[in-house]
Amino acid sequence: MAEEIRITKKNTRRGDDGYKIVSVRMKDEMIARLDSLSVQTNRSRNELINLLLEAAMDIVKVEE
């Protein structure tokens, strides 16, 4: 399995932008896990998804 991904708690702040909207289908269990992580880190689901995808893209290896 991959290395541990660490996410710090965030101070309350709004107004950042520059993103495109993307729709993704997820299982209820995944959303529940995201919601739990959201409460623990004081980050929105959207922020967590972006942080987790960014970290995953840095460690992904494409097999030919």
SS3 content of the chain, % helix, strand, coil (to 5): 45, 0, 55
pTM above 0.75, yes or no: no
Estimate the crossing angle of helix 45-59 against helix 28-41, to 10 degrees.
Answer: 100
Distance CA 62, CA 60 (A): 7
pLDDT in tens, 19-33: 778 899 999 999 999
48, 41 in Cβ contact below 8 A? yes
pLDDT in tens, 33-60: 999 999 999 999 999 999 999 999 989 8
